Amino acid sequence: MHEMSIAESVLGIVEDTARREGFARVTEVRLEIGALAAIEIEALRFCFDAVVHGSLAQGARLEIEATPGMAWCFDCSKSVEVAARGEPCPACGGSKLQVSGGTEMRVKDLVGA
């Protein structure tokens, strides 16, 4: 389950940012996760709750904003939104798609006290 290592990395970013900003405690962490990022959201939530135990982010609310998957269709020359890899183009039904977005995950911001 790679969500545990992702949660640990997020905690590292949160702790570094909190120290830099002078936060004694973090109350909310906001993530952006692309639809094609291959991250199981509920598993990430579970892992996040486990890794923040005993840290300055213990009890922090985890907000996740989903961003759409995007691809370029070589058949119709359009940028289209896709929910999963391997789906046909929603505009023309073509199968020659190159993923162009929605694979990212980032810490958008955090709220501290």
What the chain holds in terms of domains, given with CATH numbers, is 3-112 (3.30.2320.80)
CA distances to 18, 41, 83 from 12, rounded to whole Å, are 10, 19, 30
CA 57 remoteness from chain centre = 18
pLDDT at 91: 96
**Cα–Cα distance, 110 to 52 (Å, whole number):** 14
Q: Name the pairing type of β-strands 26-34 and 78-82.
A: unpaired
pLDDT tens, residue by residue, 4-24: 999 999 999 999 999 999 999
The tens digit of pLDDT for each residue in 28-67 reads 999 999 999 999 999 999 999 999 999 999 999 999 999 9
pLDDT for 30 equals 98
Residue 53: φ, ψ to 5°? -55, 125
**113 confidence band (pLDDT: 50, 70, 90):** confident
Provide the pLDDT confidence category of residue 1 given band limits of 50, 70 and 90. low
Location of structure tokens 């982010």: 57
